[in-house]
């Protein structure tokens, strides 16, 4: 009986080369010639990334003799037929610092299997064995290894052998190498660990305690039993980046090192709150998208786009619960949660594109729009994260109101988990809507039609009022104002140019011209370099302060460079739109509203 196992050996070359050496060995390859490939995209990030472009070289051999390799398309190769064991060797250039690819330097390595492990066609569902070794450099020999893949040899955090039951499972376990800091904790009897790569001065005890509380609440939310045997938060610390990607038993996170709490700093900073929200989001995905899955993404085919209209469920509902979990687990106050919710709603209200793109369209076109933002994005698109969270909020509140508090979105998600996620049954388009109606006993047809398939905003202000929460809108007070708080202008209108800027090589360039604004009416265009306003030079970081000195209706002269031509543009200052949301607690909303609010938020204000 032949051995169908696919075996890999991976080691880093000298870090300065940024090369990961990967060997793939298989017995009894296909008689017509073995086909292998690399994915074009990674689950959880809906953009064709063509990981094969990072292959520097690839060769095949059998019993030490060269075997011809023929490339069939951008990501696929066929080895000539052989009798015996086929060995494939590849050099992968690893320079991607994001959570989606592979990276190697002197500080360590990180990679996703989709970037480095060849898929052996016809053996996707067999055992996959991985040997990780440090290579020949003294630097890499001292490194540790962190991955949620099942370990076969070696002590914890050491190099060794690992296994996965299929190719899909193999590429769902990212690997981190380097000098690592590990904090371990337990949730519902399941070992968890926070793994930090990079310099830091973090309060590890507090991080473990806070993450433990957060994870415990989510496990309890879905019935009290964690769906994994072990879970890792793999965090790479930098000075300028934030991001995350979910996996079945781990999450890959990038975090600014100063966002983590330091010893002796008991206060919950906004930055640390953001880190916990990111961790909460990716952990919730262990249920919602990794196990409760859209049918369109369940096939495992990663060579082309997989279109779905359901991302609002998997990213939007997750975005609703990520911050709500911080409140319900006791990590933030009600007021802080409402600030976070206000910032989420602000992201929707500032997107003029919500009047042009429905939530289902935003999901379907993620491949060509959401992951490829451009100068017109604010005018043409809406985020299925932010608006999806808004729709989840509206659904939760409406169901609570119409059922007298007997049922909520919590119940819908739990039934979805029991009926589909726990049983690994993917959901078709319409399944969520049907299940919501079944669980609640309500006719939600019009709610879903309006929320998902039209450009009408859900009436969250009206709904929140029934819970003793007042939604208020004001104008933005500058580029850094993300909403959530009352602001400083006490309702006074703010002068508005109708554009957004970015600094490029010390110069102020227009990044976006907003529909219906003064800049668009005057003919200002994206990528124009702003030189002067009313004859006075504009500093790259001074647009907000200069704008605040203007008055509504005032005519101003802008000098701009468009490519290499200097233009003078006359612009009439307008009033900034009220697109910035903040939420306040009604002091005396009445007993019914107070009861609804406490049932929803899980705790009284304070």
Q: What is the dihedral of CA 591, 594, 595, 600, to 10 degrees?
A: 160
In terms of CATH, what superfamily is 180-271? Neutral Protease Domain 2 (1.10.390.10)
- CATH number at 495-575: 2.30.42.10
Residue tagged 């990794």 (tokens): 290
User: Is the CB of residue 322 less than 8 Å from the CB of residue 288?
Assistant: no
Q: Do 295-464 and 495-575 come out as alike in CATH topology?
A: no
The mean predicted confidence, pLDDT, of the chain is 97
Q: Taking 90 as the threshold, does the pLDDT of residue 395 lie above it?
A: yes
Question: HEC states along 375-419?
Answer: CCHHHHCCCCCHHHHHHHHHHHHHHHHHCCCCCCHHHHHHHHHHH
Segment 76-112, tens digit of pLDDT? 999 999 999 999 999 999 999 999 999 999 999 999 9
Strand pairing report for 555-562 and 231-238: unpaired
Q: Taking 70 as the threshold, does the pLDDT of residue 606 lie above it?
A: no
232 contacts: CB under 8 Å, gap ≥ 6: 146, 147, 148, 192, 193, 194, 195, 249, 250, 251
Segment 298-319, tens digit of pLDDT? 988 999 999 999 999 999 999 9
- The predicted structure's pLDDT at residue 604: 44
User: Is the CB of residue 70 less than 8 Å from the CB of residue 49?
Assistant: no
CA torsion sign, 440 to 446 to 449 to 451? negative
- The predicted structure's pLDDT at residue 603: 56
User: Is the CB of residue 269 less than 8 Å from the CB of residue 252?
Assistant: no
d(CA 103, CA 93): 8
d(CA 489, CA 548): 11
Strand pairing report for 250-256 and 231-238: parallel
Segment 471-485, tens digit of pLDDT? 999 999 999 999 999
Residue tagged 């020999």 (tokens): 141
Q: Under CATH, what is the fold of the domain 295-464?
A: Neutral Protease; domain 2 (1.10.390)
pLDDT-derived band at 540, boundaries 50, 70, 90? confident
- The first and second tokens of residue 413, run together, are 């998600």
- The predicted structure's pLDDT at residue 2: 58
pLDDT-derived band at 605, boundaries 50, 70, 90? very low
- Encode burial over 304-317: b for 16+ CB neighbours within 10 A, e otherwise: ebbebbbbbbbbbb
Q: Taking 90 as the threshold, does the pLDDT of residue 241 lie above it?
A: no
User: Is the CB of residue 37 less than 8 Å from the CB of residue 69?
Assistant: no
165 contacts: CB under 8 Å, gap ≥ 6: 125, 127, 128
- The first and second tokens of residue 434, run together, are 């049907």
Q: Taking 60 as the threshold, does the pLDDT of residue 224 lie above it?
A: yes
User: Is the CB of residue 593 less than 8 Å from the CB of residue 468?
Assistant: yes
d(CA 267, CA 170): 40
Q: Which CATH architecture has domain 6-178?
A: Sandwich (2.60)
Segment 142-191, tens digit of pLDDT? 999 999 999 999 999 999 999 999 999 999 999 999 999 999 999 999 99
User: For 226, what's the count of Cα atoms within 13 Å in the CB-facing half-sphere?
Assistant: 20
- Asked which of 14-28, 134-148, 246-260 is least confident by mean pLDDT, the reply is 134-148
- The predicted structure's pLDDT at residue 1: 39
Q: Please choose, from the candidates 506, 507, 518, the residue with its C-alpha nearest in 3D space to the C-alpha of residue 557.
A: 518
Domain ranges (residues) in the chain: 6-178, 180-271, 295-464, 495-575
């Amino acid at each position: 009986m032949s051995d169908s196992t696919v075996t890999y050996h991976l080691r880093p070359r000298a870090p300065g080369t940024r090369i990961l050496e990967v060997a793939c060995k298989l017995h009894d390859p296909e008689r017509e010639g073995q086909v292998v490939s690399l994915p074009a995209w990674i689950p959880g990030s809906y953009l064709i990334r063509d990981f094969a472009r990072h292959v520097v070289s690839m060769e095949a051999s059998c019993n030490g003799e060269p075997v011809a390799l023929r490339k069939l398309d951008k990501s696929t190769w066929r080895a000539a037929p052989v009798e015996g064991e086929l060995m494939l060797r590849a050099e992968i250039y690893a320079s991607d610092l994001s959570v989606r690819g592979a990276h190697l330097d002197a500080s360590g390595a990180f990679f996703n299997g989709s970037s480095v492990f060849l898929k052996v066609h016809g053996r996707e569902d067999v055992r996959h064995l991985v040997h990780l070794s440090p290579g020949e450099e003294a630097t890499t020999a001292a490194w540790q290894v962190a991955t949620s893949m099942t370990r076969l040899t070696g002590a914890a955090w050491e190099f060794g052998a690992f296994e996965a039951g299929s190719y899909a499972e193999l590429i769902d376990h990212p690997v981190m190498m380097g000098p690592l800091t590990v904090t371990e904790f337990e949730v519902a009897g399941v070992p968890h660990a926070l793994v930090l790569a990079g310099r830091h001065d973090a309060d590890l005890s507090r991080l473990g305690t806070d993450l433990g509380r957060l994870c415990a609440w989510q496990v309890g939310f879905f019935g009290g039993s964690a769906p994994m045997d072990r879970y890792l938060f793999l965090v790479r610390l930098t000075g300028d980046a934030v991001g995350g990607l979910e996996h079945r038993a781990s999450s890959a996170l990038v975090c600014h090192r100063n966002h983590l709490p330091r010893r002796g700093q008991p206060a919950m900073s906004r930055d640390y709150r953001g880190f916990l929200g990111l961790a909460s989001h990716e952990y919730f995905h262990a249920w919602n998208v990794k196990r409760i899955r859209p049918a369109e993404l369940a096939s495992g085919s990663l060579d082309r786009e997989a279109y779905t209209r359901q991302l609002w469920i998997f990213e939007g509902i997750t975005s609703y619960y990520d911050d709500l979990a911080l409140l319900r687990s006791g990590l933030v106050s009600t007021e802080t949660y409402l600030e976070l919710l206000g910032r989420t709603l602000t992201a929707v209200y500032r997107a003029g594109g919500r009047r042009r793109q429905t939530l289902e369209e935003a999901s379907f076109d993620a491949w060509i729009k959401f992951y490829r933002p451009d100068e017109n994005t604010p005018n043409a698109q809406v985020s299925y994260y932010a608006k999806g969270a808004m729709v989840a909020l509206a659904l939760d509140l409406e169901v609570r109101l119409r059922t007298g508090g007997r049922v909520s979105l919590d119940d819908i998600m739990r039934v979805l988990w029991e009926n589909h996620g726990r049983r690994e049954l993917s959901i078709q388009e319409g399944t969520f809507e049907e299940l919501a109606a079944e669980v609640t006993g309500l006719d939600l047809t019009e709610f879903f039609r309006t929320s998902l398939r039209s450009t009408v905003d859900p009436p969250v202000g009206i709904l929140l009022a029934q819970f003793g929460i007042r939604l208020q809108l004001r104008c933005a007070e500058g580029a850094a104002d993300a909403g959530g708080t009352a602001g400083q202008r006490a309702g006074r209108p703010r002068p508005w140019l109708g554009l957004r800027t970015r600094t490029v090589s010390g110069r102020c360039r227009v990044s976006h011209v907003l529909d219906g604004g003064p800049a668009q009416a005057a003919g200002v265009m994206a990528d124009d370099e702003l030189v002067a306003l009313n004859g006075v030079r504009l500093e790259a970081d001074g647009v907000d302060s200069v704008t605040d000195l203007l008055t509504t209706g005032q005519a101003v002269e802008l000098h701009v460079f468009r490519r290499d031509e200097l233009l003078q543009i006359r612009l009439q200052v307008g009033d900034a739109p009220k697109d910035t949301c903040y939420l306040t607690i009604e002091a005396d909303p009445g007993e019914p509203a107070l009861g609804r609010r406490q049932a929803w938020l899980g705790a009284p204000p304070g």
